[in-house]
Chains A and B, each alone.
Chain A
């Protein structure tokens, strides 16, 4: 039964299915036995999802959330990667800038909401800005770490072949740190997905986060709340899986050989 037991292929399907079935059953019966009027049963959630899909709200909300994530995450990557690479390449600059980053990083994006609303008003820009803030720091950190862990033998080989500093950065340091950067991007995407939901609860009126809060506030529709939570979970998982596939690209696969 331990880590070294050999498991067969069919077990990879059996056990998860069993566990999930057990979970659903427990959920269903605990709702039935406690006769709660508010907490939804699995069936109620399913009906809630169907209702949202029928009204077209489900896909609209998913689209809104994904759009905001794409914009905020994209901006964080486009800005964060060059900045991170520069900080990693010039330790002197990093030493100056890093304390500021370390102090800004623990400020929850949510704490930025009032300031963000003040600057950008209530609308799409605010959640995008918050997502940008949340994703920016992990990306920069990953880039700095990636650059500093490039083995010196690669840098020396690059210089040996007559590469100038910018060429070295582009043709040796960047490809060599790409696996680390991807790890950072994946982490940042997960954070972005969490923050978009949070930002939507407070600052806009569409999206999955909004759905969750609104469903409760205007009518205690907990079936929709849970439906929303489920959707959030599934899409977050799908995003993460997409990123995992990136790891198989030939030009970065070498950096992930030890990972599962």
Chain B
């Protein structure tokens, strides 16, 4: 069997297993692969698939970009100025482990229920990882590079732009990729709680309004597929970049 086909065979085997596990089980609430596919077809027919996927992607994009634009420059500066980092570190370390979802009451308080809330949650979930990545990437730039720059008479602005930023870039890109994955996880959660469109909403709504578990699982599969694609996309961007 050609090597490339093996993973596909494995996946098919798992699907078959799933199918029979559902048939054999006493409750027939949990859907099998056929029902899930039917659910996806259903969504397509009602024009909801594209609508929900777009809504989720839209929120991710806004939250992720906002976090990037704020966190990365801030992180680079904090990483560079030692005392700044010392000062802010305890605050960052306490905020960091707070699950984005724990911010939901705050989000609703400040932004009400709706899109802005969801975007804020994604923003928060991306902000701290990106901040830490940026700080870390600056601190890891080997001293030899910086010293070489100073040897050539570079001032701080020049140093940051021509030495630190290129040296830190690979790590930043890795951080962006990981954080995008986080954003995708959080958007689903955010949508389950505070809006009325999007893949997360689909999952909650399908269950609440009629126990449509086929749609629930369909939603999960779509989430997995898109998340995978997003990651592959970032991965190839990362490769392209490092080839230059």
Contacts and interface: CB of A to CB of B under 8 A. Distances in A.
B102 A98 contact: no
A114 B216 contact: yes
B30 A119 contact: yes
A16 B86 contact: yes
Interface in B170-188: 181, 184-186, 188
A240 B203 CA distance: 32
Contacts of B139: 3, 260
Interface string A212-236: 1101100000100100111011111
Interface residues of A, number: 66
B105 A216 contact: yes
Interface residues on B, range: 35 or more
A190 to B, nearest CB: 6
A112 B219 CA distance: 10
Interface in B116-156: 138-139, 143, 146, 156
A111 B199 CA distance: 9
B86 A106 contact: no
Interface string B87-98: 111110111111
A232 B82 contact: no
Contact of A212 (B94, B102, B206): B102
Contacts of B204: 114
A99 interface: yes
Interface string A4-42: 110100011001101110010000000000000011000
A115 interface: yes
A45 B79 CA distance: 31
B239 interface: no
A3 B103 contact: no
B74 to A, nearest CB: 14
Contact of B6 (A96, A113, A118): A96
A221 B207 CA distance: 29
B11 A19 contact: no
B83 A11 contact: yes
Contacts of A99: 7, 10-11
A16 B203 CA distance: 43
A97 interface: yes
Interface of A: 1-5, 7, 11-12, 15-16, 18-20, 23, 38-39, 95-100, 102-115, 118-119, 190, 193-195, 197-198, 201-202, 208-209, 212-213, 215-216, 222, 225, 228-230, 232-237, 239-240, 260
What are the 10 A-B residue pairs with the smallest beta carbon separation, nearest first? Answer: A106-B227, A236-B97, A15-B87, A19-B87, A110-B189, A197-B99, A108-B185, A216-B105, A194-B99, A233-B94
8 contacts: A7-B83, A102-B231, A106-B223, A111-B200, A114-B204, A193-B99, A225-B106, A229-B106
